[in-house]
Amino acid sequence: MGSAGREMSDKWLERRRVLITGAGSGIGRALAERAISAGCEATLVDVNAAALAEVASVGDCIPHAMDVADPGDWAGLPRPDPGWDFVALNAGVMTAPPDAPREESDLVTMDIRNYHRVMRVNVVGVVHGVRCVVPDLADGGAIVATASAAGLVGYAPDVAYSMSKHAVVGLVRGVAPLLKRMQQGQRVCAICPGGVRTGIVPAAFQGMPMMEPAVIAQEILDLWREGENGEVRVKMRPEVPAQRVDEPELPPWW
């Protein structure tokens, strides 16, 4: 799509109040650039203040450096009046730093601090985000959480990461009925990407075919605009349309 077509397609975002976490790099940065270009009133969050400042330099936005796993930082987040239109809870990490040896991602051999780190950012950070933004979510507004294809199936190379993204999918599906009860059209969705070329990917996997962050940014925009409450989508390859992944039907609990 050319720039003129993109600007036209993003016109619906103009002056919308959006919040993007993990906006300093990767998917969050690609989404932030689209939001700023479309004329959003964008609040951008990242733990890396320098990276956030670089993104914020491209246009009008509110950069806010914070740790998404810290409830005190969420309490200090500036909130728009009358509320958020669209939120992307996108901040995330894999279990070990990209340059760490593979055993640092192995559930059996890794430093247990790696486990606590990935759960803190990927799970606790999303929980705090939902708790913070739902009271300020505009009628018809939408939250999209970035999960992973590893949150739908087991992922042996990084079990803790897979666990954390399963938790995000479960959170989205659990919160959706609560939003429905509010009867104001608010929605919560999840995007589950396959491999994406971002800074959190371990060096051992960087030679594999991966999608560019802009591909998933587009999926988040689509979910903001038209995703159904509780919808979980998986996107594995750029040329293959995203698929909706429905919950299995289970017998009654009692």
The whole-number pLDDT of residue 188 equals 98
User: Model confidence over 32-51: pLDDT tens digits?
Assistant: 999 999 999 999 999 999 99
- Our measurement of the distance from residue 45's CA atom to the centroid of its chain's CA atoms, rounded to an integer in Å, reads 12
165 is catalytic: yes
The whole-number pLDDT of residue 41 equals 95
For residue 190, give the H/E element and its range: strand 187-193
Distance between CA atoms of 2 and 181, rounded to whole angstroms?
41
Q: Domain 3-241 adopts which CATH fold? A: Rossmann fold (3.40.50)
> Is the distance from CB of 133 to CB of 45 less than 8 angstroms?
no
List per-residue pLDDT tens for the chain, 254 residues long.
443 444 458 999 999 999 999 999 999 999 999 999 999 999 999 999 999 999 999 888 999 999 999 999 999 999 998 899 999 999 999 998 888 888 888 999 999 999 999 999 999 999 999 999 999 999 999 999 999 999 999 999 999 999 999 999 999 999 999 999 998 999 999 999 999 999 888 777 777 789 999 999 999 999 999 999 999 999 999 999 999 999 999 999 88
The whole-number pLDDT of residue 4 equals 40
The whole-number pLDDT of residue 2 equals 40
Token pair of 135 as six digits: 């009271």
Interior angle at CA 18, CA 122 and CA 6, nearest 5: 105
> What φ, ψ does residue 167 adopt, rounded to 5°?
-65, -40
pTM for the full predicted model = 0.94
Token pair of 147 as six digits: 């999960």
The whole-number pLDDT of residue 205 equals 72
Catalytic site residue from 11, 115, 155, 161: 161
Distances (CA, A) of 168 to 64, 93, 145: 23, 13, 7
Distances (CA, A) of 148 to 36, 74, 145, 183: 25, 24, 10, 29
The whole-number pLDDT of residue 6 equals 43
> What φ, ψ does residue 63 adopt, rounded to 5°?
-80, 140
Q: Which of 63, 72, 11, 19 is nearest to 37 (CA)?
A: 11
Distance between CA atoms of 97 and 24, rounded to whole angstroms?
17
> Is the distance from CB of 215 to CB of 235 less than 8 angstroms?
yes
> Is the distance from CB of 172 to CB of 190 less than 8 angstroms?
yes
Catalytic site residue from 11, 165, 180, 235: 165
Strands (E), 99-180: 137-146
Interior angle at CA 205, CA 202 and CA 211, nearest 5: 100
Close Cβ partners of 178 (under 8 Å, ≥ 6 residues apart): none
Place of tokens 């293959």: 240
Token pair of 61 as six digits: 């936005």
> What φ, ψ does residue 48 adopt, rounded to 5°?
-90, 100
